[in-house]
Structure 1
Amino acid sequence: MPYVPPPELASLSLGQLAEQVAARKIPPLDQWSPQEVGDSEMRIAADGRWFHQGGEIRRPAMVRAFSSLLMREDAEDGAGQHWLVTPFQKLSIEVEDAAFIATDMQVKLDETGRPALAFRLNSDDLVVCGPEHPLRVAGTDEVPAFYLAVRHGTEARLNRSTYGQLIDHALTLGGEQLAVESMGERFALVPGA
């Protein structure tokens, strides 16, 4: 069966987006205890492209399948080891920056009018920023880097146009500090704030 990507983010209501997220069946990596540990000979470049033994993986469906098996240990500092996990194997994978790239952002409103920031990733995953998927700002004031928690310790780095959308949204809100809110959480958009 061919892979059909989800609809464009802008066309989805928050409820439809939640349905799309729920429909994505993610394996229960945290419940698996594989005995075999090795090296996948795979790498995720900083621009989000996947490579195996030096050759680029060009099939989006393969990248999407592999991305559902990703986890990161010691994720608190943003520098933990990434793994591809199956019930039988745990294979290291080199990740140059983040496992995913956020390629689009839309501001949605829940039924009470509370804002929710919805992101599409390069894997076609849809993620709603909030308590379970917080935003993290790294880098410097001159060169900030924005990251969104995805799942199992992995993160998505916002690409330039997506963090531009985020900053534009924050500027429309005004306020003394550059910040946004999503699903009841407030996220400062200045490194170290």
Structure 2
Amino acid sequence: MKGEHAARSEGLACSGHQESPERKRHDLGYLPFLVRRDGVWLYRGTPIKRKAMLCMFGSMLTRDEKGAYLLRSPFETGYIEVEDVPFLAVELDWSGCGKMQRLCFRTNMDEVVVAGPDHPIRTEWDMPPEACPESCPPYIRLREGDGRFPLEARLSRPVWYELAALAEPGTCKGVPCMGVWSCGCFFPLARQTSGTDCDA
């Protein structure tokens, strides 16, 4: 709890008021935050366990034009270290089938997105298995950053297995693959030896 209190008091000043156009944010440089690959947020090496605080920091997170992660409040901004991506997709709900299927993901920060044109699923599906020893987990885009680098959530292993169970044959860029549909978009997950056109 001491670490969480310090994160709140020493970290970014938070306010419900909108930023004044005339006010410039104070640059704090690098903040002592680390987001581990397993989704645990650390402040000065101590895990932050309060969900409300995690959700608050998560809502303030963005990426700059070079892809670095930073926390931004109306008054201050500071960079943090992220080992992979800052969020995990921990729950999958789906409805419909085929092109009419909708895949709804909930993150460990309780952010909910539906895979589709604005929230694509990204995988290194076309890589040989030996080039990706951790089986290249899928990611889903949550929101845009300041430049071309978005904020993403990595699918947790149980969610990944659920998603794989929904896969069906298709093609992407002329390559036969297994993938999933959501909101009219086909997202490839892995190569296959043969497939049918998917209009992707």
- Which residue of structure 1 aligns with residue 143 of structure 2? 151
Q: CA deviation at 1:109?
A: 3.5
Q: Provide the TM-score with structure 1 as the length reference.
A: 0.72
Match of 1:119 among 105, 113, 128: 105
The aligned amino acid for 2:111 is D
RMSD: 2.9
| Distance change (3 Å), C-alpha of 1:50 and 1:134 | same
- Which residue of structure 2 aligns with residue 178 of structure 1? 178
Identical aligned residues as a percent: 33
Q: CA deviation at 1:72?
A: 1.6
Count of residues paired in the alignment: 157
Match of 2:41 among 25, 30, 50: 50
Residue 59 (structure 2) pairs with residue 68 (structure 1): yes
CA shift digits 1:50-97 (9 cap, x unpaired): 01111110111100111001112347xxxx201111122121011101
Match of 2:163 among 163, 166, 175: 166
Runs (4 or more) in structure 1 with deviation over 4 Å come to none
Q: CA deviation at 1:42?
A: 0.6
Partners of 1:61 and 1:174 lie apart in 2 by: 41
Match of 1:82 among 54, 69, 72: 69
| Distance change (3 Å), C-alpha of 1:165 and 1:96 | same
Q: CA deviation at 1:156?
A: 0.2
Partners of 2:164 and 2:65 lie apart in 1 by: 29
The aligned amino acid for 2:180 is V
Partners of 1:133 and 1:146 lie apart in 2 by: 12
* SS of 1:161 mapped into structure 2: helix
Q: CA deviation at 1:34?
A: 4.8
| Distance change (3 Å), C-alpha of 1:71 and 1:48 | same
Q: CA deviation at 1:166?
A: 0.8
* SS of 2:30 mapped into structure 1: strand
CA shift digits 1:130-153 (9 cap, x unpaired): 111111113844312211001132
Partners of 2:40 and 2:64 lie apart in 1 by: 21
- Aligned ranges 1:94-113 → 2 under 5 Å: 94-109=81-96
CA contact (8 A) 2:18 2:74 kept: no
Partners of 1:103 and 1:149 lie apart in 2 by: 14
The aligned amino acid for 2:42 is F
For structure 2, the residue ranges without an aligned partner over 5 or more in a row are: 1-16, 130-134, 145-149, 171-175, 192-200
The aligned amino acid for 1:90 is T
For structure 1, the residue ranges without an aligned partner over 5 or more in a row are: 1-26
Partners of 2:166 and 2:41 lie apart in 1 by: 31
Say which one has the larger Rg.
2
Partners of 1:131 and 1:178 lie apart in 2 by: 19
Partners of 1:154 and 1:28 lie apart in 2 by: 22
Q: Provide the TM-score with structure 2 as the length reference.
A: 0.69
CA contact (8 A) 1:83 1:93 kept: yes
Q: CA deviation at 1:190?
A: 2.6
